[in-house]
Each structure stands twice: as structure tokens, then as C-alpha cells.
Structure 1
């Protein structure tokens, strides 16, 4: 695991949720530049156990936030959504929640270069007045924490817990760093 930025170092001491712990284990994983591929990211497609994912995901230049979420959910023994590479499909994961909390899956809407609608998915680690702080993949071509404008939120979904961890809570953070605008 790469070092967490100072504002997020407290995450290393959290007992859970398990999806957060699994995601933190991949912190700092970086997409290769140009035509090269990071074999770690490519192996996640096989690790999901989903044949269609392994067949579709053949290069780390393909948006991989959904792939990252799939491998994190799989490692945490959570059921994957249908076609997990499509970020907006994570809007059906787990159970709906009105108030996002630590470890929840957050799905965001974004616009592509041609103006069409696409999505982004990551895990809630906190929030400030205008943004959610999201631990996810393909954020600046790596696994990291990024700030996402609250008005881009499409869905907040809580993992379907047998027993919800005690530390699932709203986390208030300082509004440090710029907002992410395009996670492709």
C-alpha cells in the first residue's frame, strides 16, 4: 500500500468496512502510460471471476473504475453488479442509502469528450460542504482519494452487510485539493 496523504492517514487505523481495507491495499496502483499496460490492473479482470469482464478488459487504457470496484467487492465477499465495468451499473449494488457514510459505494455522472453521459464509481471516505472524498480507481490514472462534487452524485449504495461495522458513519473533512472533473 502506498502512503496515504496526510488528510487521509486516519483510514489506515480504521477496522473496516472491509471494502475500504481491500481498496487501501491497492492504493497507489498506477495505469501505465501510452500503449503499455499494468499487469496488476489487467489481472483484476481475471480475479473477478466474471468471464465477460476478463474478455472485455484487455488494456488499462479502458476506463477501470468499475473494474477496481469489482475486484474490491469480490475480495470483500460482496455480490457484483451485472456488467461491473460500467460505472453507472454500480447504482444497483447493495442497498439504497439516503446519507452516504464510510465504505458506501458512490456512483457519479460525468460527461465524455464527445458530450455523452458516462459514470464513475468509488468508495466514500468522507465529505466536505461541496464534495465527497472518494477512494477509487482510475482517478488521475491511479488508485487514490479524490474530491467529487456532490452535485454529480447519481447514487449512494451501502454494501449489504450481515452485520454493519460499527465505524460506518458520516466523516467530515476539510475541503483540501481540487475537484475531479473527468475520471476517464
Structure 2
């Protein structure tokens, strides 16, 4: 869904320093600008959906989304999920990113512990899962490709990690990056973590976590809990947000140039576990 890259770019906005941005979320609802002490989960979803080119509910009420669009036959990445919360009049709304396999789902949403982040919620609290009416034709997942990897040779990647490899490729593709940048990102993730989203390296100088081993000690993982960085979508969102601003990476037309730009400008070369050139060609 087109609102997901927008939502991922907002990860990290928090009450306090982020209040001006939260006011912009409220501007997409008829309630108008409000302080961050007013629940803003629905305002956030309205902001993302409208920025993505669709119409929202224009309401700051989470349960307003129960009458938006149409019911999704199943939980689809990016579909809008409405949860019960407290009294019958209350609720919470966010964007579905995955299932943790323990009776909970992960939602990318606003006003989750006072910030935009990916958090887990009990699946039993789901009131509705919504997609736009025009999305009926994409409500079912696409059929598996006869050529996995969309032209990429994934033979060097262990079979159990190929789905994660495709997730990295698809996330960079959805963000508008070319196959050169997609391959460079995959090469780095494979070199850093072997595509294990829960990989973690802790030394005196670093606490590197997740797919891209984002360093929580003064690095790009700073101010992010380890559990958040172990969520592949959260890890990818941070990487995609930051590499958008690396001109050399965006402009690269060869895999070598893209990998060099990634290593040189996104991460300290000393942090690289392997040479990505030798892993992905």
C-alpha cells in the first residue's frame, strides 16, 4: 500500500520534540491541530493515507476506520487494523506489518508509547482490518513467482533466508530504488547479519542489532531499543530513510559504486563483517 513508505519515514517522531509534526498529523482530521496529549493514532493514519494519495476518515477517532473502505479477507501488510482499547468508545488504529507468532500482531502506528514505532498488540483485540474499496483486486497475495528474486540469483543465500532476502529487495523496490541499489542493500544485509533479523553483536564499542547491524552506541541504531531493531521492517525503515539522503548511493549506476557508497557513507568501513563485493555479484 502506498502509505507504508510514508509511515516508515515517520518512525521516531515522539511527543515533546516531535509535537510540531504531530500537529501536522492532526491537520488531516477535522479536529484540527491539537496538543500531543490528545490521542493521535487516527490522526497519524489519516496523515499517512492522505499523503499516499487516498482519502482517509478525516476523524481523530480510531474506530472511525471501522467504516472506511472494506473489510480485508486476511491481514495484509499495510492494511489498517482497528483494536479495542478500554471502554467501548475507545480504540487504537495502526498499520499491520507482521505477526510475532505468539498471539500478537505488530503495528506501525502513532501514539504507541507516545511515539511512532512498531509495537505488538494482542491479536484478540482486533475489531477490524480495512483496505480501500479500490484495493479489492489486490486483496489476495500475489501468486509465487516462477523466478524467485525478480531476476536476482539467490543461490548463495541459504534457503531459510531467501524469504528475508526478497523482503529486503521488495522494501527497497517499494521505496523507489533501482535494482542496483536493491542488490547493494541485500549484499550489505547479508554481509552484516547473514539476513538474521535478530542478529546482535555486542562489544565494548558497539551494540549492533538486526538485519543491517545498526549500532546502538553512537551509530544509526542510537535511541532505538534492541527489540525494535530486531524487527526487520523497523530496521529497513531506518536504513531506507537514511540512504535516501546519500547522493552517491542514489546516483550509483553500478553495483560496485552502490556498495562503495553504502559502506563509505552509511556505515563505518571498520564495522563491515565481510566485503559485500565478494558476497553479491
- Normalised by the length of structure 2, the TM-score is 0.47
2:31 match: 53
Cα deviation for residue 167 of structure 1 reads 6.9
Alignment correspondent of 2:100: 128
Match of 1:152 among 91, 105, 125: 125
Tell me whether 1:30 sits opposite 2:14 in the alignment: yes
Whether contact under 8 Å (1:102, 1:167) holds in the other structure is no
SS of the residue aligned with 1:78? coil
Indicate the residue corresponding to 2:263 in structure 1. Answer: none
Whether the 8 Å CA contact 2:109–2:116 is kept in 1: the answer is: yes
**Number of residue pairs the alignment of both structures matches:** 147
Give 2:67's aligned residue.
92
Per the TM alignment, residue 25 of structure 1 is displaced from its structure 2 partner at its CA by 1.3
Deviation at 1:165, TM superposition (A): 9.1
How much has 1:77 moved relative to structure 2?
1.3
Match of residue 46 from structure 2: 70
- Does 100-109 or 126-135 show the bigger shift? 126-135
RMSD, aligned CA: 3.0
Q: SS of the residue aligned with 1:154? A: strand
Higher helix share: 2
5+ residue gaps, structure 1, are 1-16, 178-184
Higher relative contact order (CA 8 A, sep 6+): 1
Question: Which position in structure 2 is the counterpart of 1:18?
Answer: 2
After TM superposition, list the pairs within 5 Å mapping 1:140-179 onto structure 2: 140-161=113-134, 164=138
Question: 1:166 Cα deviation (Å)?
Answer: 9.2
CA offsets per residue over residues 71-128 of structure 1, 9 Å max, x none?
00110111112x52000111122210131110100000011xxx56410000000013
The structure where strand makes up a greater share of residues is: 1
Q: Which moved more, 1:63-72 or 1:83-92?
A: 83-92
| Runs of 5+ unmatched residues, structure 2 | 144-162, 164-196, 199-225, 228-281
Q: Which has the larger radius of gyration?
A: 2
Q: Cα–Cα, structure 1 residues 20 and 165, in superposed 2: closer, same or farther, change >3 Å?
A: farther
- State the secondary structure of the residue aligned to 1:143: strand
Distance 1:108 1:158, change over 3 A: same
Cross-structure match for 1:14: none
